[in-house]
Amino acid sequence: MTKVPFNFDYNITFNALDVVDGFYPALTQDEKETLAYDIAKNYDYSITFEDLLPQIEIAAEENSIDLAGKEEPYTSNNIYVIDGGVK
């Protein structure tokens, strides 16, 4: 059951400059831009990706979605022969 409005954006994004400014508003604009550039250039996005796994598991539990055995991509069991198949 989907609980999101039509055309929902599933992306999670943040602006590194806004993050630096949020934590250190007293820095000069040049200092903020330098730090934000370095973060964007060198950030290890795999950490963020891996951090989402517990959130997926929590959301699945809260929504009664069984994740067991679903680590592989979904494939359909329906096989259709197109253009005659093997002869």
pLDDT tens digits along 7-66 = 777 888 889 999 999 999 999 999 999 999 999 999 887 877 788 889 889 999 999 999
On whether residue 31 sits in a domain, the answer given is yes
**What pLDDT, on the 0 to 100 scale, is given for residue 86?**
60
Range of the domain at 43: 16-62
On whether residue 46 sits in a domain, the answer given is yes
**What pLDDT, on the 0 to 100 scale, is given for residue 27?**
94
Decide: 53 and 71 in contact? Cβ < 8 Å. no
27's CB contacts (< 8 A; 6+ apart) are: 20, 21, 35
On whether residue 48 sits in a domain, the answer given is yes
**What pLDDT, on the 0 to 100 scale, is given for residue 44?**
84
On whether residue 4 sits in a domain, the answer given is no
Q: How many domains does the chain have?
A: 1
**What pLDDT, on the 0 to 100 scale, is given for residue 87?**
57
The single-letter DSSP state of residue 4 is: S
pTM of the entire predicted model: 0.56
Which segments of 24-69 does DSSP mark as H helices, in order? 29-42, 45-62
